[in-house]
Structure 1
Amino acid sequence: MSTRDEQLRKDAQEAVEKHKELVQKDPYRLNYHIMPPVGLLNDPNGFIQWKGIYHMFYQWMPFHTGHGAKFWGHYTSNDLVHWQEERTALTPSEWYEKNGCYSGSAIAHNDQLYLFYTGNVKDEKGERESYQVMATSKDGIHFEKQGVVVQLPEGYTAHFRDPKVWQQNGKWYMVVGTQNHQQQGRVAILQSDNLTDWKHLGDVTGAHTKQLDAFGYMWECPDLFHLDGKEVLVVSPQGLQKEGDKYENVYQSGYFVGDVDYSTGEMQHGAFHELDQGFEFYAPQTTEDEHGRRILVGWMGVPDQNEEAHPTVQYKWIHTLTLPRVLTLKEEKLYQNPVEELSSLRGKETIHQQVRIQTQEISLQDVEGDSMELYVQLHSVEADVVEIQFRNHARLIYRPSTGKLTLERKSFVDYQTESRSCTLQNLSTLRIFMDTSSLEIFVNNGEEVFTSRMYPYEENNSVIFGTNGTVLMDVHKWDMGKM
């Protein structure tokens, strides 16, 4: 460990202590989501279960709420619900990472935990260099940097980052998000026998390569894994143009499903599908745990999204991670559902069965608060519109005639109403996790998900159901405790 590393870690801890009291005064601090102790959080990194313990690292800027030379913050958990803050895992202390320890992944090998990440370097003119770096740990807490293992291959710009490493058929593979010299987004794939010497195989491309030539100018945070008989490539493309209700955020996250030839890295795949329909979701990462579950966590944020307008900035922190979600694949569509362990946070339960709403807005006894899990099952809908209002700040609106489901909220930038939508065959169930300043809405057992931040007035805890016709439904509500 270098003197520079020790000093940066000390500086980060001093920033935490300096602003701890102010941070904790913020009414928008969440109860059961991972947040930074201070400063800015973005991409989840190094998500893994090792020796029974879940590790969640994350991009962290401890000194202010803007971006810069990122650290890796670190949490651990026995159950994916109750998380403990650990010692800062990585600091930008070496020449090959002096402008940031950027995103990456973790593997277990030879009774050690290995981290792979991007070292970001910029010169005085702002020109970028990127290196893929390895660090190792015998205890999962203290990491020794092993230096650069991959330098930039030919054919790509220096936007070459976010390595995800895994083992397949006795060999190690790495996918890296990148951009070619025609400024087109790509995912590069590399292979290794020993984790230190890597051979570049090419791009993860396939039958739709020509179709994808103009599909964004940069692809970030790739993740390639096997699920239910297929390979799934998750990626976050930048530069997609809005198409109807698709690609409405600044940048997107989504996936391709297909088959990979591991001798060449080539993937035959279908169309791109967005992972989330909400306002804030980006850079997801998955892991397979000891139960064989493929679990995803994303950043509840989006780059270049007027971050200075978030009201938490005045309290010296910004952003959070999503809840962990189990992935399943059905007819080449990913379904996402919150991990079952979250039920351990449930407190008081309120049940309303066979609730009939007729051309009115109603509230239900004890269905209110700022931190809850809500389950709604629709039995019959004879109406043009059905909606749920959350704390007079966000509304979920369903129109059966078109199948359109829309989430509206008041913008934290200008307080005007903004919306995101998707189209369903039908709406049967909603599972909603509301924290003090977030919404995660799982539709039809994970068929679609809306993930968003929201900043309602602290004193308004109302949940209101409404329709212009007749709706019959069951409503279950649980108060949610702190993680």
Structure 2
Amino acid sequence: MQWTTEQRYTRLEDISKSELAALKKQVGGSPWRQTYHIQPETGLLNDPNGFSFYNGEYHLFYQWFPLGPVHGIKYWYHTKSKDLVHWENAGIAIRPDSDLDSHGAYSGSGIVHNDQLYLMYTGNTRDEQWVRHPKQNIAIMDKQGIIQKKQKPVIHEVPPGYTDHFRDPKVWKENGLFYAVIGAQRTNLTGCVVLYSSPDMETWTFEGEIKTALPRFGYMWECPDYFTIDGQGVLVFSPQGIAPKGDCYHNIYQSGYVLGNLDVETQSIDHGAFFELDRGFDFYAPQTMEAPDGRRILVGWMGLPEMSYPTDSHGWAHCLTLPREITIENGRLMQRPVRELERLRGVQMEASADLCDEVQTFDSFSGTAFEMICSFELEDADSCGIEIRVSEEEKTVITYDALKQKVHLDRTYSGALTDSPYGTVRSCSLAGDKVTFRLFVDSSSLELFVNDGAEVFTSRIFPSKDSAGIRFFAKGGRATCQAVKWTIGE
């Protein structure tokens, strides 16, 4: 279905109850609704926003177009949790209903200030000639969960030297001042991040563009995030317009980070190389927050802009990743599922095998929603790995290729995938004769953590419900495997 501009800018408030009920019924009939991931009730979900801890709960918002699987006029939808595992839908948080955000409440972040949760976001507005005028706005949530917008933008205009692609403020506090990084595009059509400061979250001063060693790295940097872990600074952003290179940058848009400490006085960051955060097919626009115990927690959008998905025909699209704790070890970010997710574990099963150029299955090892940890030790095998969501026609294959020293995720036969110019295999380098895969599989997704979070592959898959098999294999020689699996939601 082709959506007209008028349809994309139809508000939820302007449709009838019967139309909404019909849409909910259509979505409810989708075979790919998730079991334990955050997903929209209807329509399209994208960027996580406002991720924060306030008044004893984790608060997570996301971009939402309620009426279909397209990027239409955006709302902020609110979900909350006491444990990062069980999430409660709390309804619409920000509606695009004023001159501040007439054409969409775009992405932003949250911070606790004056015992309230301040939400800073980009208001998308357009004039009669359809020219975009982004504004940076504030909405404030109190302890009763009531959210009110400030009546005027706190940043009214784009500073000289930048286009109207100017959005996604991420706020933090340092040495008594608030700072915000904003994703931007220079007038020469290259991407960057700019810095603002404020004493009170109300009055903001443009400090300048953050000087990096990446002056021509894509045409737009979206969803920036700056934070420190044990004194080490991290700048996360999602650059658009990066050409593939080796095993890297094979999605339509990328998300990654550089390590380096931001000097807010000189607006400069002396940083290392840019690394992708995720090696899978569907990961974008991540946002982090600091948990009460000091952990840095990340959530990403399990999807990508400008891509079609099989659930589109069911009236919905996308979900969020599971929360991940990120640490810095040996000069790289490590990502591990937050420990609280162990509360999802149901029935536990264990198995082990010596594999010799063969494929094996284990009793009770099957399912469509589960966690599994599997460790392989290669003797002389050329490769080893796991096949999940298996049937006669379908499988998703995870391989460690010892000859090439690479991990491959292959979704060529994963089910109802729309044809894509971006390929069906993702890979990364990994050396050694031992490998551990930790998988979180849901009805239509796979989150794969390799070697305790050294690499992560996040991907949507769309197999049939009866594709539930699990197989273990070694090719070209011997390998041993040890596996433990837990049901989720059964």
TM-score, length-scaled by structure 2: 0.92
Q: Deviations over 1:232-267 (max 9, x none)?
A: 000000000110111000000000101121212211
Match of 2:49 among 27, 36, 45: 45
Contact 1:149–1:198, Cα closer than 8 Å, also in 2? yes
Match of 1:440 among 447, 457, 463: 447
Structure 1 equivalent of residue 296 of structure 2: 294
Structure 2 equivalent of residue 92 of structure 1: 96
| 1:470 aligns to 2:478 (yes or no) | yes
Long gaps (5+) in structure 1:
1-6
Measured after TM superposition, the shift of residue 214 of structure 1 is 1.9
Q: How does 1:34-433 map to 2 (within 5 A)?
A: 34-139=38-143, 141-146=145-150, 147-151=152-156, 152-206=158-212, 208=213, 212-305=214-307, 307=308, 310-353=309-352, 355-391=353-389, 392-410=394-412, 412-414=417-419, 418-426=424-432, 427-433=434-440
Supply the distance in 2 between the matched residues of 1:358 and 1:317 (Cα, whole angstroms). 44
Match of 2:465 among 434, 439, 458: 458
Partner AA of 1:75 in structure 2: T
Supply the distance in 2 between the matched residues of 1:149 and 1:341 (Cα, whole angstroms). 37
Supply the distance in 2 between the matched residues of 1:169 and 1:12 (Cα, whole angstroms). 48
Q: 1:452 to 1:462 in 2, by over 3 A?
A: same
Supply the distance in 1 between the matched residues of 2:263 and 2:103 (Cα, whole angstroms). 36
Measured after TM superposition, the shift of residue 197 of structure 1 is 1.2
Measured after TM superposition, the shift of residue 389 of structure 1 is 1.2
Partner AA of 1:254 in structure 2: G
Contact 1:52–1:290, Cα closer than 8 Å, also in 2? no
Partner AA of 1:412 in structure 2: L
Contact 2:108–2:122, Cα closer than 8 Å, also in 1? yes
Long gaps (5+) in structure 2:
1-9
Supply the distance in 2 between the matched residues of 1:80 and 1:344 (Cα, whole angstroms). 10
Supply the distance in 2 between the matched residues of 1:12 and 1:63 (Cα, whole angstroms). 9
Q: 1:326 to 1:421 in 2, by over 3 A?
A: same
Supply the distance in 1 between the matched residues of 2:228 and 2:199 (Cα, whole angstroms). 20
Supply the distance in 2 between the matched residues of 1:175 and 1:319 (Cα, whole angstroms). 26
Partner SS state of residue 319, structure 2:
coil
Contact 1:48–1:56, Cα closer than 8 Å, also in 2? yes
Q: Deviations over 1:382-405 (max 9, x none)?
A: 211212112233111111122111
Q: CA RMSD in A?
A: 1.8
Structure 1 equivalent of residue 4 of structure 2: none
Contact 1:9–1:88, Cα closer than 8 Å, also in 2? no
Supply the distance in 2 between the matched residues of 1:330 and 1:266 (Cα, whole angstroms). 24
Q: 1:134 to 1:12 in 2, by over 3 A?
A: farther
Supply the distance in 2 between the matched residues of 1:276 and 1:100 (Cα, whole angstroms). 28
Supply the distance in 1 between the matched residues of 2:395 and 2:302 (Cα, whole angstroms). 18
Supply the distance in 2 between the matched residues of 1:34 and 1:78 (Cα, whole angstroms). 15
Measured after TM superposition, the shift of residue 312 of structure 1 is 1.4
| 1:481 aligns to 2:489 (yes or no) | yes
Measured after TM superposition, the shift of residue 481 of structure 1 is 1.6
Stretch of structure 1 that moved more, 164-173 or 263-272: 263-272
- TM superposition outliers: structure 1 runs of 4+ over 4 Å: 7-16
Partner SS state of residue 312, structure 2:
helix
